[in-house]
């Protein structure tokens, strides 16, 4: 089957800046779902590294979806936390519809962070035409 790959890298410091800003709550609710914020919250607070990997995954997902005049909400692209500790990519609303119409039958995501940077790779498996 054909595949499409998306990649993105994000500075953790940029996310830390957002978490320190006066618009922190607006930023979190505009970009992340409640479940994502909960998965990124530790005893020390919200982890900028964990949020940064999820933001990178959302951007990488946009790169595998076909372009359209219809904008997508970042909240329609969700990184779910599995009981095993891994993650899964979940699409909702217009993002799910765009993937269906593009023939995407499977999405895989990999997240990583190191030395102040966070990255994600998304692989989309496309149904043959």
pLDDT one-digit tens code per residue, 31-60? 999 999 999 999 999 999 999 999 999 999
- CA neighbor of 92 nearest in space, from 67, 53, 58: 58
Contact 77, 96 (CB under 8 A): no
Instruction: Kindly list the domain boundaries of the chain, sorted by start residue.
Output: 3-126
Is the domain spanning 3-126 CATH 3.90.470.20? The answer is yes
Confidence of residue 5 (pLDDT cuts 50, 70, 90): very high
**The pair of three-digit structure tokens given for residue 97, joined into one six-digit string:** 């519809």
Q: Is the pLDDT of residue 22 over 80?
A: yes
SS3 readout for the chain: CCEEEEEEEEEHHHHHHHHHCCCHHHHHHHHCCHHHHHHCEECCEECHHHHHHHHHHHHHHHHHCCCCCCCCCHHHEEEEECCCCCEEEEECHHHHHHHHHCCEEEEEEEEEEECCEEEEEEEEEECCC
- Measured CA to CA, the distance from residue 84 to residue 90 in angstroms comes to 16
- Angle between the 24-31 and 12-20 helix axes, to the nearest 10 degrees? 130
pLDDT one-digit tens code per residue, 103-127? 999 999 999 999 999 999 999 999 9
Residue 12 vs residue 66, higher pLDDT: 12
Average pLDDT over residues 73-80: 96
Q: Is the pLDDT of residue 69 over 70?
A: no
pTM over 0.85: yes
């Amino acid at each position: 089957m054909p595949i499409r790959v998306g990649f993105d890298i994000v500075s953790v410091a940029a996310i830390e800046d957002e978490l320190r800003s006066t618009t922190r709550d607006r930023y979190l609710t505009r970009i992340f779902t409640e479940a994502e914020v909960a998965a990124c919250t530790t005893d020390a607070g919200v982890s900028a590294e964990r949020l940064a990997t999820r933001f990178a995954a959302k951007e990488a997902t946009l790169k595998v979806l076909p372009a359209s005049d219809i904008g997508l909400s970042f909240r329609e692209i969700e990184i779910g936390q599995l009981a095993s500790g891994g993650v899964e990519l979940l699409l909702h609303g217009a993002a799910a519809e765009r993937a269906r119409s593009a023939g995407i039958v499977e999405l895989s995501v990999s997240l990583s962070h190191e030395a102040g940077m966070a990255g994600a790779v998304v692989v989309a498996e496309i149904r043959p035409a």
